[in-house]
């Protein structure tokens, strides 16, 4: 295996040890206060798949079975099911923490064309949308208080991405992003932060849009990602995270989200299923 990336090279952001066959999330990769971030979990699947597949990772799918223990060695198991596809599970004490697959071929398009164009249409904002973004003042709420140190969205996460989304229309939540050089992999944005950036950012509008009541919260259930070309880290125009809630069916909420360049190139497309739970369950208390 000659795969090497930010997630498996020795360093502060290493999460995968291919030789020892374990993954281990350090404290700064938390989502809820005491467990791992679901987006990071999906991101590390790109590294696990890349270590096992002949060609570049094109798609992955991850299901989260239970809170991901932090600072704990978790065994991973990889099984080749097709020439271009592997099943991957991550376990703790024999119980599945994560399960899913990684493929170097597109299994089926992640999103309908219509959804993709709607997201892509916001790669550049109209003056009215930019104005709405600029004027938006976030009121502190459960996502900024209960998840203050979440790797992806936590406003107090010193080693995190601190991605706070804002509405630019009644449906679309948006954020520009200039990734720090910490997240570079050979001059390009590494897969783990690129995939993780589309985790809780996809849930940012739930309370504002009334998809969740004030006494409800949610946990990531599944995350599917489709990978396009990695953006150069020195992309002076920055990147855009563009999200839209699709629908809520009972206790499940479905969202579509993408990481784009201003020219409309899709670097990562994400599709998440969120499970409605009480705020206490979401926080892990
Ligand atoms: Zn790797
Ligand atoms: Zn978050």
- Please give the residue range of the domain that contains residue 87: 16-283
Q: CA 189, 193, 195, 201: dihedral to nearest 10 degrees?
A: -120
Q: Does 4 map to a domain?
A: no
Q: Identify the CATH number of the domain in which residue 196 sits.
A: 2.40.160.210
- Copy the structure tokens of residue 197: 């950036």
Which ligand sits closest to the CA of 37? 2
Q: Does 39 map to a domain?
A: yes
Q: Does 93 map to a domain?
A: yes
- Residue given tokens 């994560």 in the structure block: 98
pLDDT (0 to 100) of residue 142: 76
Which ligand sits closest to the CA of 142? 2
Instruction: Say if residues 233 and 188 touch (Cβ distance below 8 Å).
Output: yes
Q: Does 160 map to a domain?
A: yes
CA distance between the termini of the chain = 41
Low-confidence residues in the chain, pLDDT < 70: none
* Cα–Cα–Cα angle for 164, 130, 267, rounded to 5 degrees: 60
Q: Which helix (H) or strand (E) holds 31?
A: none
271 CA to middle of ligand 1, Å? 22
Q: Does 38 map to a domain?
A: yes
Q: What is the pLDDT of residues 151-200, one digit of tens each?
A: 999 999 999 999 999 999 999 999 999 999 999 999 999 999 999 999 99
pLDDT (0 to 100) of residue 96: 97
43 CA to middle of ligand 2, Å? 14
- Copy the structure tokens of residue 86: 């592997």
pLDDT (0 to 100) of residue 143: 76
- Domain tally for the chain? 1
203 CA to middle of ligand 2, Å? 9
Instruction: Say if residues 50 and 164 touch (Cβ distance below 8 Å).
Output: no
Which ligand sits closest to the CA of 1? 1
pLDDT (0 to 100) of residue 198: 98
Q: Does 267 map to a domain?
A: yes
- Copy the structure tokens of residue 277: 């739970």
Q: Give the C-alpha separation, 132 to 73, whole Å.
A: 45
Q: What is the pLDDT of residues 106-131, one digit of tens each?
A: 989 999 999 999 999 999 999 999 99
Rounded to two decimals, what is the model's pTM? Answer: 0.97
Q: Does 11 map to a domain?
A: no
Strand partners, 80: 86
pLDDT (0 to 100) of residue 235: 79
């Amino acid at each position: 295996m000659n795969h090497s990336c930010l997630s498996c090279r020795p360093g502060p952001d290493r999460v995968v040890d291919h030789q020892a066959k374990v993954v281990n999330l350090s404290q700064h990769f938390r989502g809820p206060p005491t467990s791992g971030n679901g987006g990071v979990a999906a991101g590390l699947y790109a590294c696990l798949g890349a270590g096992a597949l002949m060609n570049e990772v094109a798609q992955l799918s991850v299901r989260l079975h239970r809170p991901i223990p932090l600072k704990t060695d978790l065994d991973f198991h990889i099984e080749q099911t097709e020439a271009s596809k592997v099943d991957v599970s991550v376990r703790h004490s024999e119980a599945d923490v994560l399960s899913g697959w990684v493929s170097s071929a597109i299994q089926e398009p992640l999103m309908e064309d219509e959804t993709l164009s709607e997201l892509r249409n916001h790669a550049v904002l109209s003056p009215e949308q930019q104005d709405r973004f600029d004027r938006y003042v976030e009121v502190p709420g459960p996502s900024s208080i209960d998840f203050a140190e979440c790797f992806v969205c936590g406003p107090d996460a010193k080693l995190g991405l601190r991605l706070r989304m804002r509405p630019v229309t009644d449906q679309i939540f948006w954020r520009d992003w200039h990734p720090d050089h910490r997240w570079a992999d050979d001059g390009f944005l590494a897969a783990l932060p690129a995939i993780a950036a589309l985790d809780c950012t996809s849930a940012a509008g739930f309370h504002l849009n009334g998809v969740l009541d004030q006494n409800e919260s949610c946990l990531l259930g599944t995350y599917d990602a489709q990978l396009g070309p990695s953006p150069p880290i020195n992309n002076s125009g920055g990147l855009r995270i563009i999200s839209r809630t699709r629908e809520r069916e009972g206790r499940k909420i479905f969202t579509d989200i993408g990481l784009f360049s201003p020219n409309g190139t899709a670097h990562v497309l994400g599709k998440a299923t969120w499970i409605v739970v009480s705020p206490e369950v979401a926080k892990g208390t």
